[in-house]
Amino acid sequence: MTRNSLSTLLLTLICTTLLLCCFVIISSAQETKTRPAHIGFVYPLSTNGTDAANYINNFSLHILAGLANNENSFCLAGISNVVKCNASGVIIAGLSNHIGHNAKGLQLAGLVNTIKNNAEGVQLAGLANVTGNSNGVQIAGLANVAKAAEGVQIAGFVNTAKNANTQVAGFSNLSTNASDVQIAGFINTSQEAKSQVAGFINVAKKVSGVQIAGFINIAEESNYPIGLINISKNGEKQLGITLDETGSTVLALRSGGKVLYGILGVGYNFRNENAKYVVEGGIGAHFPITSAFRANLEITASALSDIQYDVYFKTTTRLLAAYKLANRIEFFAGPTFNHLGFDRYQHDIRKDNYIWSRKNPNYFNGLYIGLMGGIQINL
């Protein structure tokens, strides 16, 4: 298709849609009538003619585009459906459906569904669903936009709503007031949320459930954040130094809520040249015992390397007894259970001091018991 032909086709589609909208406005004061069926090519070339905007139809079929006051059961158009008031049942269009008031049932469009007031049921669009209040399911290739979404919003890129039950998006979910569940590939934002899951960052004012992020969680109130960095107004942030049995000294930030927290640290091993640089990340949980004593359970993953050649991977589970001094400084220490893995040709930094080990043709795995202690201050 040539560029001129494509431009002519697009101009025709735009003019057709504008023409339908104009007739909706002109005919708004005329009397509505009921027809069992409405068949046509494009407005006004149809069985309802120039008076189509005043008819309530039970069945409609249009080659290009159709116009109606209400659609009650089934409506199909090759390009676009324009319904001045309400639509119920199944509404299908190759490009777009436009409903002036309320919709109930299924709206399926190759590009866009727009519903001015309430949408109850399912909206499926290749590009976007734009509604007032949505009660049901919205699925769009790019975006769902609603004032309030009491059901489920699923979008390839972004969902937006003032209030939402469940939002699932490839990139971002935005709820300006409250949401129940938000799942996004990159970022979730909400004033109040029950649960948030994001590939990179969650932002909320208050979270009553769990926040899970690949990197950072931000909230004024969140007791169960799971991320490397967690910034919570009512939570805790501690900066500390730890030393373990291998000689690794790590400067780590522990941040989170009153229960769960994240761990992110970097360090240096003064005893082993093959694994002297350390990077650590993980999660932990506080278990209060008294006002000054508590137990901390932590699970971490570390990489130890000389940067040039060797890399050692270490996972650790540790149970630490912690004592707070003047509510500002905390001392902690306890046993650790560790797994160490590295390529078989690398130097064994444990010197075969394992409770269990296995040498595969290309890789070594070993388990051992260790110790760790440290001191940290509240920020």
Query: What's the angle, vertex CA 283, arms to CA 280 and CA 286, rounded to 5?
Result: 130
Predicted local distance difference test score (pLDDT) of residue 31: 57
pLDDT by position in tens, the chain (length 379):
454 554 554 445 544 554 444 444 444 444 568 889 999 999 899 999 999 999 999 999 999 999 999 999 999 999 999 999 999 999 999 999 999 999 999 999 999 999 999 999 999 999 999 999 999 999 999 999 999 898 999 999 999 998 889 999 999 999 988 889 999 999 999 999 999 999 999 999 999 999 999 999 999 999 999 999 999 888 899 999 999 988 899 999 999 998 999 999 999 998 888 889 999 999 999 999 998 999 999 999 999 998 888 899 999 999 999 999 888 899 999 999 999 999 988 989 888 899 999 988 899 999 999 999 999 999 8
Kindly give, in sequence order, each residue whose CB lies less than 8 Å from that of residue 109, ignoring residues fewer than 6 positions away.
Answer: 92, 93, 94, 95, 96, 97, 124, 125, 126
Number of Cβ atoms within 10 Å of the Cβ of 22: 11
C-alpha angle 326-332-334 in degrees, rounded to nearest 5 = 155
Gap between the Cα atoms of 98 and 77, Å rounded: 12
User: In this structure, which amino acid lies at residue 257?
Assistant: G
Q: What is the DSSP letter of 31?
A: P
- The closest of 329, 330, 340, 334 to 366, measured between CA atoms, is 340
Distance CA 254, CA 238 (A): 5
Question: Residue 343 corresponds to which tokens in the numbers above?
Answer: 């390529």
Regarding beta strands 128-140 and 148-155, do their DSSP bridges make them parallel or antiparallel, or are they unpaired? parallel
Q: What is the C-alpha to C-alpha distance for residues 344 and 328, in angstroms, rounded to an integer?
A: 45
Q: Classify the phi-psi angles of 276: left when phi > 0, otherwise alpha if psi is within -120 to 50, otherwise beta.
A: alpha
- β partners of residue 133: 118, 148
Angle of CA points 155, 60, 63, to nearest 5°: 80
Res 4: pLDDT = 53
3-class SS letters over 295-329: EEEEEEEEEEECCCCCEEEEEEEEEEEEEEECCCE
Residue 65 CB burial class (10 angstroms; 0-12, 13-18, ≥19): buried
139 three-state secondary structure: strand
E strands within 69-146? 70-77, 80-83, 87-93, 96-99, 103-109, 112-125, 128-140, 143-145
Query: What is the per-residue pLDDT for 327?
Result: 80
Query: pTM score, two decimals?
Result: 0.81
Summarize pLDDT for 246-294 with one digit per residue, the tens. Answer: 889 999 999 999 899 999 999 999 888 888 999 999 999 999 999 899 9
DSSP string computed for 27-38? TTTSPPEEES-E
